[in-house]
Amino acid sequence: MYNLTIAHLYPEQMNIYGDRGNIITLRQRCAWREITTTLIPVMPGSSIDWQSVDLAFFGGGQDSGQALIAADFVEHQAEPLRRAAETGMVLLAICGGYQLLGHYFLTHTGEKLPGIGLLDVHTVGSTQRLIGNLLIEANWGTGRQTLVGFENHSGGTFLGKGVKPLGKVLAGHGNNGKDGSEGAVWQNVIGCYMHGSLLPKNPHFADHLLELALQRRYGSSTILSPLDDQLELAAHSTMVERLQR
């Protein structure tokens, strides 16, 4: 019997465009396979045993939401979270959460929000927002590689040498609307701009994250039983076709 411990970072301040749907998807895809999950909300000031966490999720937020928790994130979570990430903890961060995993986010009003520097990226805000549907060709593993999502950000993120992009933009803006890259990956830490929610309509990616977490906890031979993803993949393919037209 498997159990996965899932941490949800700042669910009250950082939950925009249905990002919570990613948590629902992860837990439901586990439940369908009789894998139990323990959910830990990470609130301001929380003391978390990050070594017990298998998979963490950090959603997006407005600049004002990010400003509420950025210093708390650096002070209370940065170091233990980094140690867990160094040993393969899976972390998915979207948009505002992604930006705070980097070195900093300089907002379009000139406020410099500190990040924890887990990902070698930095973000600079602009008055021109990058908004719309996003389609990328991603770079992990084998099998289906397209990811579909929705982006809405003023911040443009620039990647340093310590990370690889999650993928290349086929439609939309991605990291900064300039270099054709989207997202950043280091170890099992993935940041990207894909709201939507991301995981319900990219079930192959949800399972990729679950498999990474299970294999780290229970050994490399752990595999997930297949699910009937007809509906989810129909939603995915509809967007792929629409955006490639």
Which residues contact ligand GLN (rule: CB under 6 A)?
Answer: 16, 60-63, 66, 95-96, 152-155
CA atoms within 13 A on the CB side of 161: 0
What is the 3-class SS of 177-241, one letter each residue?
CCCCEECEEECCEEEECCECCCHHHCHHHHHHHHHHHHHHHHCCCCCCCCCCCHHHHHHHHHHHH
Cβ at position 32, least distance to ligand GLN in Å: 29
Q: Which two tokens stand for residue 49?
A: 């045993």
The label of the residue with tokens 């990902």 reads 119
Q: Which is nearer to ligand GLN, 152 or 215 (CB)?
A: 152
Least distance to ligand GLN, CB of residue 164, Å: 21
Q: For residue 119, give both structure tokens.
A: 């990902």
Q: What is the dihedral of CA 26, 86, 83, 165, to 10 degrees?
A: -70
Q: Please, are residues 131 and 150 in contact by the beta-carbon 8 Å criterion?
A: no
Which residue sits closest to ligand GLN, CB atoms considered? 60
Q: Could you tell me the smallest distance in angstroms from the CB atom of residue 90 to ligand GLN?
A: 20
Cβ closer to ligand GLN: 5 or 22? 22
- Taking the least distance from each CB to ligand GLN, the nearer of 153 and 236 is 153
Query: Which residues participate in the annotated binding site?
Result: 129
Query: What secondary structure letter does DSSP report for 23?
Result: H
| Residue 13 vs 37, nearer CB to ligand GLN | 13
Question: Closer CB to ligand GLN, residue 54 or residue 63?
Answer: 63
Start-to-end CA distance of the chain, whole Å, equals: 45
For residue 95, which phi and psi values (nearest 5 degrees)? 50, -105
Could you say which of 122, 195, 204, 208 is catalytic?
195
Active site residue 122: no
Give the residue numbers of the binding site for substrate. 129
Report which of 143, 150, 169 is spatially closest to residue 229, judged by C-alpha positions: 143
Closest approach of ligand GLN to the CB of residue 153, in Å = 3
Q: Can 192 be counted among the known catalytic residues? A: no
Nearest distance from C-beta of residue 12 to ligand GLN, angstroms = 15
Residue 56: closest CA among 92, 27, 80: 92
Which member of 95, 122, 173, 236 is catalytic?
A: 95
The set of catalytic residues is: 95, 195
